[in-house]
Structures are given as C-alpha cells and as structure tokens.
Amino acid sequence: MIQDIQKEILRLKKENDICILAHSYVAHEILEIADFTGDSYALSVKAKSAPQKTVLMVGVRFMAETVKILSPEKTVLLSHPEAGCPMAEQMDKNLIEAVKKEYPDYTVVAYINTTAALKTVCDVCVTSSSAVKIVKQIENKNILFIPDCNLGAYVRELVPEKNFKLLQGGCPVHASVNESEAVAAKQKYPNAKLLVHPECTPDVVKYADYVGSTSGIMDYVMQSDCDEFIIGTELSIAEHLQYACPDKTFHFLSQKLICPNMKKSTLMDVYNAVRGKSVCEIDLDSDTIAKARRCIDEMIRLGG
Ligand code: 13P
Ligand code: SF4
C-alpha cells in the first residue's frame, strides 16, 4: 500500500513538474520519494538550482519561505498548512528593530529558523551547519545572535574572538533535554558516542562527542568506525540511521525529542499536494522577498 502511494507520487511529481524537498526529520517513507533530503542548509541551496517550476517542501514553514525567497518565480508549496516552527515565531520584527536601536553597532545574525518578515531586518542568516564558519567571516566584532540562545552559546564558544549578545529564544524540543538525561545516557551506554544538535542547551552539549546539524550527525555515524550511538536530536534521525546502518546500534538521548510540527506532514499530505488537492502555497510580497533575500544570499556567499 505504501509502495503504491509512493509510486503514484513519483508519477505525479514528474507529470506536474514538481521537485520534492524533504527535511531529515520527516518520515522515512517520505524521504524515499524526495528529490533532495538533508538539513536546512542543504535544502535551501538545492532549492535554488532545482529545474522544476514547483517545489514542495516537506518540513516546516520557514523552510518553504526560504525556498520562495530564493526562487520567487516558482510555485512553492508546504506539505501541511499548520507545520510551523515555534522558534521561528518567538521574535518578531518590531522586537528586533527595538533591540537593534539598543545595539546599533552589532551585526544581526539570524538562525534560518526565523520568519521571512523577521529576516527583512537581519544582516545574515546561518544554519546549524554553517553558523560557526559564517560568524568567523563577519568583519564586525559585535554579533547579535537571534533567536536561539543555545546555538548562539555554542557558536560563541567556538568563536571567542567575537563579542556576542544573545536573546532568550530556542527550540522547545531540543531545549527540553536536561543535563541529568545526558549523564544517565552516557552511564547507561558507556561505549556509545553521544551526538548532539547545537539547539540543545550548553549543559547537554558539553557531554557530546560530536555536535552538529541533522546531516552532520548522519554523516558522522556513516563515516565512524564506532558501532553504537546516542542520538541527541529528533528521534526520526535514529530511525533513518537504523535503515542506513542496520549493523549499528542507536539509542535515544531522550524520548522527548519529538518535533510535533515535523510530524504533521504524512505521505498522504505529499500525495494530495502533488495531485493538486489541499495545497498550501507560500505567498510573500515582493518587498519582503527582496529584503529577506539579502541575508540568505549572504549566508550562501559566506557558507559556500
Ligand atoms: P538542521 O539545520 O540541522 O536541519 O536543523 C533544523 C532544525 O529545525 C533543527 O531542529
Ligand atoms: Fe523548530 Fe525545534 Fe521542530 Fe526544529 S525541532 S523545527 S527548531 S521546533
């Protein structure tokens, strides 16, 4: 049954000239029929070069908005109308404009998990895989990093030559893991490597053997000689890795690492989108696109 729907999706996406991009947090049966899968950075770069007229983003809204900003001529669809990222909604344009007045000589570095409207008042975007590289290259010493204070603290640690101002935002899913869970997991599985997303708190990150984006964690496992891992990001990553590496063993850092928004999109939503039913099209005005694009172009220039 799943295979029949997958076959039909593959046929319809070709017939209707649709490119499917899927973030690594979505279900395995969706990754199997996507044109590209990966972390936020890889997807935003891939979307730009996709030849199809329509792009379907299976992930959350800020990811689909990023595709629209980079390819305004394309029709961009989001797999589920309510798939948002709570972190992206935590800070709005008015708040950041007010903070900028307090810190006028700071470069505003926005995690890509922000709305298109907020990106219009920022200087450069970063993703979890590109943040350190990009921040190092910024000429200004003063960095206002928004909205994720945990990713910001991780970058600050690795770029000590800069002066950081962090605001109190973050991912409710990753920030829910606490230090005692990290200690307990390491004690329970002493031979396993602990791999953690930088959206986790510094109290958890300090125990990690590797810190990286979703793709970074997957690449680490596939290249590692080690055969046992504790996965410190969304639980789906352990599932995808188990398919890719059946002989390796995976443990969850915490059962709380489930992103409800990434779980909203199902294979049936993808099927409905490619056959033109229940379509959620991303619509951004040209002024927002032009202003938000500057900081995404800057991210690709510095992160490439
Ligand atoms: P990545 O950049 O690692 O894909 O992370 C996106 C995200 O939302 C993690 O919670
Ligand atoms: Fe947003 Fe966190 Fe979900 Fe990633 S895991 S999409 S940051 S809520």
Q: Write the pLDDT tens digit of every residue in 71-86.
A: 999 999 999 999 999 9
Higher-confidence residue of 44 and 152: namely 152
Rounded to the nearest angstrom, the distance between the alpha carbon of 39 and the centre of ligand 2 is 12
Domain match, 18 and 41 both: yes
Structure tokens at 153: 């603290």
| Cα–Cα distance for residue pair 181/204, rounded to 1 Å | 8
Domain match, 151 and 293 both: yes
Mean pLDDT of the chain: 96
| Cα–Cα distance for residue pair 95/208, rounded to 1 Å | 33
Domain match, 162 and 219 both: no
Confidence bin at 278 (pLDDT 50/70/90): confident
85 Rama sector, left if φ>0, alpha if ψ -120 to 50, beta otherwise: beta
Q: How confident is the model at residue 303, as a pLDDT?
A: 86
- CB 40 near ligand 1, within 6 Å: yes
Domain match, 271 and 240 both: no
| Cα–Cα distance for residue pair 108/125, rounded to 1 Å | 9
Ligand nearest to the CA of 59: 2
- CB 39 near ligand 1, within 6 Å: yes
- CB 128 near ligand 1, within 6 Å: yes
Long-range Cβ contacts of 92-100 (<8 Å, 24+ apart): 92/117, 92/118, 93/117, 93/118, 93/120, 93/121, 96/121, 96/122, 96/146, 97/121, 99/144, 99/167, 100/144
Tell me which residues have their CB closer than 6 angstroms to ligand 2: 60, 85-87, 113, 171, 173-174, 199, 234, 259, 261-262
Ligand nearest to the CA of 88: 2
Q: How confident is the model at residue 279, as a pLDDT?
A: 81
Ligand nearest to the CA of 39: 1
Domain match, 248 and 218 both: yes
Q: How confident is the model at residue 283, as a pLDDT?
A: 97
Mutation choice for ligand 1 from 113, 173, 256, CB with most ligand atoms inside 8 A: 113
Structure tokens at 58: 């299976």
CA angle 115, 257, 79 (to 5 degrees): 45
* Residue 62 belongs to a domain: yes
Radius of gyration of the chain, Cα coordinates, nearest whole angstrom: 19
Q: Write the pLDDT tens digit of every residue in 205-246.
A: 999 999 999 999 999 999 999 999 999 999 999 999 999 999
**Whole domain around residue 71: which residue ranges?**
2-83+262-284
Go through the chain and tell me how many residues it has: 304
Does residue 9 register a pLDDT over 80? yes
Give the burial string for 31-55 (b: 16+ CB within 10 Å, else e): bbbbebbbbbbbbbbbbeebebebb
Mutation choice for ligand 1 from 23, 85, 205, CB with most ligand atoms inside 8 A: 23
Domain match, 39 and 91 both: no
* Domains: count for the chain: 3
Domain match, 214 and 270 both: no
| Cα–Cα distance for residue pair 35/296, rounded to 1 Å | 22
Q: How confident is the model at residue 220, as a pLDDT?
A: 98
CB contact at 8 A, 36 and 21: yes
Give, using CA atoms, the residue closest to atom 7 of ligand 1.
Answer: 40
Domain match, 77 and 221 both: no
Q: Which ligand 1 atom sits nearest the alpha carbon of residue 39?
A: 4
Q: How confident is the model at residue 66, as a pLDDT?
A: 94
* Residue 134 belongs to a domain: yes
Give the burial string for 96-107 (b: 16+ CB within 10 Å, else e): beebeeeeeebb
Give, using CA atoms, the residue closest to atom 7 of ligand 2.
Answer: 171
Q: Write the pLDDT tens digit of every residue in 166-217.
A: 999 999 999 999 999 999 999 999 999 999 999 999 999 999 999 999 999 9
Domain with residue 132: its CATH number is 3.40.50.10800
Domain match, 198 and 270 both: no
Domain match, 277 and 143 both: no
pTM above 0.75, yes or no: yes
Rounded to the nearest angstrom, the distance between the alpha carbon of 18 and the centre of ligand 1 is 24
- CB 236 near ligand 1, within 6 Å: no
* Residue 104 belongs to a domain: yes
* Residue 257 belongs to a domain: no
Q: How confident is the model at residue 304, as a pLDDT?
A: 72
Domain match, 161 and 292 both: yes
